[in-house]
Structure 1
Amino acid sequence: MGARVVVVDDDETLRALLQRALENQGFSVTLLSSAADLERRLRLAVPDVLVVNTVLPGMSGIEVCRRVRTTPSTYRLPIILLVAGDDRDEALAGLAAGADDCVTKPFSAGELVIRIKSLLRRINPSLLEHMIKVGDIVLDRDSHRVHRQQKEVRLGPTEFKLLELLMRSPGRVHSRSEIRLSLWGDDAKVNERAVDVHINRLRKGIGLEKAGTVIRTVRGAGYSVGDLSSK
């Protein structure tokens, strides 16, 4: 599971084009068509990057930027704004409202991929690295291998994605709803109980004798990878 990108645009053709380009580069992509859809999504989980068009049903992309920047849970969310190529004032207004970058239409999907990677290198470069290390756990995105205390541990594909999600932000508590959305999207057949099941499998998979507790449960809030420095 690569960096999570949410694309908000009411142009279905463009959304499909961007989805293919981003997924080919390893990004996890969610497509939305309106600001209302985005608001509902952000209440459940905050992505790693938001790509939003200035023209949306019900609310402009510029207003979306303002709201994101004034909401405590999303004020640090990286935003790329898609603007009409002949509207410089709109681009400036978007940057003033909180967008980190603007891409003018028409643009190639490849350009957007480059802009997203450039933004992540500045803000959160770990999302682009293939190796993640937290304490004595090392996760390799490219080979899909996990080592703990220099011993390889075997994980199923869902447990691997779950561990990657937690390791990308050690210490941060992820709610069950956020984990479910990140791993299974909008699949209505998967409930939050499935999160607990896979957490237990992950604990067994990475649990070594006398290795201490790795996955921390925060009652009523969710799960996190704890501080392993004292283990």
Structure 2
Amino acid sequence: MTGEERPRLRVMVVDDHPMWRDGVARDLEEEGFDVVATADGVGAARRRAAAVAPDVVLMDMQLPDGSGAEATAGVLEMSPSSRVLVLSASDERDDVLQAVKAGASGYLVKSASRTELVAAVRATADGQAVFTPGLAGLILGEYRRISAEPGPADDRPTLTARETEVLRYVAKGLSAKQIARKLSLSHRTVENHVQATLRKLQLGNRVELTRYAIEHGLDE
């Protein structure tokens, strides 16, 4: 393998409709992903995530033994390094918010094209938050509402001016490469700032970092 090549992303597909599940798995395999498991419910998703630790889990919201939110929480409990991208027929507000609160990194509706799905899986694996157009605004609005509510005194760690600047761009959805171009920095320097900020704030990934930034008004 050359330095330019990347290992195949390992994906698990969770959906209770066999034809849809198999079709998505086949499309992903044809696009160069490694579909390491499929599951048709909450229990199966938990067990298989524990066994194979996929990079990305595509998650339906309607499952026979529970909700996609329950399955998301269960998958992340069994495989904390995995990222969950919901792929659902529902675009209802409650479904979207429940999925995100359970730990999902993004939410696509099933009308998304194959090209959109492939791009979303890759972006999710890279730690980006991916939402069907229209749903991102819903999530932003909810976090702004939460952040406006009274809470405990602000005792968050102090970030440097550069870390805060990078965090503002993260909140706006820019990738590390895009931020590097904006700030005339190297990609590695931006990544170092992101990792330092994650450590200071005791957050686990970029999705949590984006939520933090939105909650604290850094996306303005």
Normalising by structure 1, we get a TM-score of 0.48
Question: In the aligned structure 2, how far is the partner of 1:118 from the partner of 1:107?
Answer: 15
User: Which of 97, 100, 104 in structure 2 is aligned with 1:95?
Assistant: 100
Give per-residue Cα distances to partners, 1:154-189, cap 9 Å, x unaligned: xxxxxxxxxxxxxxxxxxxxxxxxxxxxxxxxxxxx
User: What is residue 75 of structure 1 aligned with on the other side?
Assistant: 80
User: What is residue 60 of structure 2 aligned with on the other side?
Assistant: 53
Secondary structure in structure 1 of the residue aligned to 2:62: coil
Matched, 1:2 2:8: yes
User: What is residue 21 of structure 1 aligned with on the other side?
Assistant: 27
User: What is residue 199 of structure 1 aligned with on the other side?
Assistant: none
Q: How many residues align?
A: 121
Amino acid at match of 2:18: E
Question: In the aligned structure 2, how far is the partner of 1:22 from the partner of 1:9?
Answer: 15
Question: In the aligned structure 2, how far is the partner of 1:7 from the partner of 1:93?
Answer: 19
Question: In the aligned structure 1, how far is the partner of 2:59 from the partner of 2:127?
Answer: 19
User: What is residue 105 of structure 1 aligned with on the other side?
Assistant: 110
Runs of 4+, deviation exceeding 3 Å: none
Amino acid at match of 2:29: E
The structure with the largest strand share of the pair is 1
Q: Is the 8 A contact 2:16 2:40 kept in 1?
A: yes
1:119 CA drift (Å): 1.5
User: What is residue 121 of structure 2 aligned with on the other side?
Assistant: 116
Secondary structure in structure 1 of the residue aligned to 2:81: coil
Question: In the aligned structure 1, how far is the partner of 2:40 from the partner of 2:75?
Answer: 17
- Structure 2 runs not aligned, ≥5 long: 1-6, 129-220
User: What is residue 34 of structure 1 aligned with on the other side?
Assistant: 41
Amino acid at match of 2:126: R
Question: In the aligned structure 2, how far is the partner of 1:17 from the partner of 1:110?
Answer: 14
Q: CA RMSD in A?
A: 1.9
Question: In the aligned structure 1, how far is the partner of 2:19 from the partner of 2:114?
Answer: 12
Change in CA separation of 1:36 and 1:68 when aligned onto 2, cut-off 3 Å: closer
The structure with the largest helix share of the pair is 2
1:41 CA drift (Å): 1.3
Q: Is the 8 A contact 2:46 2:75 kept in 1?
A: no
Q: Is the 8 A contact 1:83 1:105 kept in 2?
A: yes
Change in CA separation of 1:85 and 1:56 when aligned onto 2, cut-off 3 Å: closer
Q: Is the 8 A contact 1:83 1:90 kept in 2?
A: no
Give per-residue Cα distances to partners, 1:11-38, cap 9 Å, x unaligned: 1221122122111111111222122222
- Identical counterparts, % of pairs: 31
Amino acid at match of 2:88: V
- Structure 1 runs not aligned, ≥5 long: 124-231
Matches within 5 A, 1:157-176: none
Question: In the aligned structure 1, how far is the partner of 2:75 from the partner of 2:48?
Answer: 12
